[in-house]
Amino acid sequence: MATKLWEKNTQVNAKIEAFTVGRDREMDIFLAKYDVLGSMAHIRMLQSVGLLEESELKQLLSELKDIYTLAENDEFVIEDGVEDVHSQVELLLTRKLGDIGKKIHSGRSRNDQVLLDLKLFSRAEIEKVVNSVSDLFDVLISQSNKYKNVLLPGYTHLQVAMPSSFGLWFGAYAESLADDLQLLLSAWKITNRNPLGSAAGYGSSFPLNRQLTTDLLGFDTMNYNVVYAQMGRGKMERTVANALASVAATVAKLAFDACMFTSQNFGFIKLPDEFTTGSSIMPHKKNPDVFELTRAKCNKLQSLPQQIMLINNNLPSGYFRDLQIIKEVFVPAFAELNDCLEMTTMMMAQVKVNENILDDSRYDFLFSVEEVNRLTLSGVPFRDAYKQVGLDIEAGNFVPNKDVNHTHQGSIGNLCNDEICTYKNEVISGFTFDKVKQAEELLLAN
C-alpha cells in the first residue's frame, strides 16, 4: 500500500479512508493532465527562485511530459492506496527520480493544487461549451433565415394569441444563447485567475514568484489575496455552474417547445424518422425521446448551482473537506451539457417545418389584433377598434386578413439576425482561448 503524503507512523482506519476518499480518485482522473501542467509551471518558478537546480528541472520536466501524455491518452491511473491525483503524480516522479521528485511540493499545498487543477479544467471545459453553444446558435440562425416567412401561432397562457413565425422562433433561442454566452464569459473571467502560491490558504515563507506561474499558465491575473484564493473554492464552481444552468435553461425550453410542436395535436415540426423511437404496443408511435431526455438532463443541470451553494454554504474562510464533494456534481456537468447541446444541434439542423400551419381555420383568431391595428391606422380610436373586432368575433362575423406587416426591429418582418450575430461574435471575442492555448503549448514544448 502506498504511503500518504501526510502519513507519519499511524495508518488511518480502512473504513475511514474509504469514506473520506469517496469518489475523489474517480473525479481526479479528469484533472490529471491539468495537475501536470500546474506542476510544470510551479517547478519552473521554483528553479527561478533557487529552490531547484537547472539539471533537476530538466529531469522533472521530462518525466512530467511523459505523465501528461499518459493523461492525454487516457492511460493515467491512480493506484490503489494512493489518495488523489497529486499524490499519484508525485509518486511516479519519485519512483523515477528519487529525492528529486519530492522537491516539487515546495511552496505548495494540495489545497492550492486542487484549486489550480479545477480552474485549468474549467477553462478547457468552458471553451468546449462555448464552441457547442456557438454551433447550436449558428444552426438556429440559419433555420431562422431559411424559414423567416413561414408563420406559426404565437401563444400566451397556451391560448392562440398572435401570429409568430419560424424566423422568430428559431431566432429567439439563438439570441437567448448569445445572452448565455455573456454569463459564460463572466464565469471565464472569474475562473481565469491564478490561485497557485496561496498554498494552504495563507501563502508561503518561500520567495515564490506568483506572477511567473500566472504568465506560464496563461491566466489573465492571479487571485492576489491568498486567503481569498482559498475562499474561491466553491465560489468559482458555483459561478460557472450558474452559466451552465443558463445554457441548460435555454435548451430545456427549446426541447419543451420541440416536444409539443412535434405532437399530432400541433404538427408544426417533424423529426426524421431515424431521430425518433417507437412504442412496444402502438405501431404508429414516433416519440421525440431525445428532446424529452434533453429536457430532463437540462432541468437537472439547472439544480447544479443550488447543490454547490448548499455544500459550500456557511463555511468560514479556510479549507474544509466539504469542498471535495463539489467535484462530484461539478466535474461531470460539462460533458452532460455538451451531450445535450450536440443532440439539440443535430435535431435542429434536420427538423422539417410545416409551412401551411395557418391554413387551418382554428388559427383565424390569431389575426384579430392585426385587424384592430389596421382599423386604428385608418383613424378609428384603438378602444373603439378593439370593441368592434371583439363584437364581430362574438357574432361569428370575423373574417381574418392573413397579410402580416410587421416592420419594427425584432419583429416578423425585421428579425435583426445580423445584429444578433454581431452581438454573439462580440461576446465570443472576449474569451482569451488563444492566449491560454499558446501558454500551454509553450509550457509543454520547453
Same domain for 96 and 124?
Answer: no
- Has residue 280 got a pLDDT over 80? no
- Has residue 120 got a pLDDT over 50? yes
Return the SS3 of 411. Answer: strand
Ranking 9-13, 139-143, 174-178 by mean pLDDT, the lowest is 9-13
* 1 inside domain: no
Q: What is the pLDDT of residue 274?
A: 80
Structure confidence by residue, pLDDT tens digits, 346-374: 999 999 999 999 999 999 999 999 999 99
Average pLDDT over residues 278-293: 75
Same domain for 66 and 159?
Answer: no
- Has residue 282 got a pLDDT over 60? yes
- Has residue 1 got a pLDDT over 50? no
Same domain for 158 and 283?
Answer: yes
Cα(78)–Cα(242) distance, rounded to whole angstroms?
A: 31
DSSP H stretches of helix in 73-109: 85-97
Q: What is the pLDDT of residue 24?
A: 66
Q: What is the pLDDT of residue 28?
A: 86
Average pLDDT over residues 79-87: 88
Structure confidence by residue, pLDDT tens digits, 240-250: 999 999 999 99
CATH number at residue 261: 1.20.200.10
Last residue of a domain, one of 49, 71, 106: 106
Neighbouring residues of 233: CB distance < 8 A, sequence distance ≥ 6: 111, 114, 115, 118, 319, 323, 326
Same domain for 39 and 127?
Answer: no
Same domain for 231 and 199?
Answer: yes
Average pLDDT over residues 85-91: 93
For residue 27, the enclosing domain spans: 14-106
Same domain for 37 and 133?
Answer: no
Confidence of residue 40 (pLDDT cuts 50, 70, 90): very high
Q: What is the pLDDT of residue 235?
A: 95
56 against 15, higher pLDDT = 56
* 191 inside domain: yes
Q: What is the pLDDT of residue 13?
A: 67
Same domain for 257 and 306?
Answer: yes
Same domain for 190 and 80?
Answer: no
Same domain for 127 and 27?
Answer: no
Same domain for 385 and 316?
Answer: no
pLDDT averaged over every residue in the chain = 92
Ranking 28-32, 139-143, 422-426 by mean pLDDT, the lowest is 28-32
Last residue of a domain, one of 88, 106, 124: 106
Closest CA to 217 of 240, 193, 197: 193
Last residue of a domain, one of 89, 106, 123: 106
Q: What is the pLDDT of residue 25?
A: 72
Cα(324)–Cα(333) distance, rounded to whole angstroms?
A: 15
- Has residue 387 got a pLDDT over 50? yes
Percent of the chain past pLDDT 90, that is, above it, reads 82
Q: What is the pLDDT of residue 57?
A: 97
Same domain for 176 and 86?
Answer: no
Same domain for 348 and 379?
Answer: no
Q: What is the pLDDT of residue 6?
A: 44
Confidence of residue 219 (pLDDT cuts 50, 70, 90): very high
Could you give the maximum distance between any two Cα atoms of the chain, in Å? Answer: 94
* 243 inside domain: yes
Q: What is the pLDDT of residue 283?
A: 64
Number of domains in the chain: 3
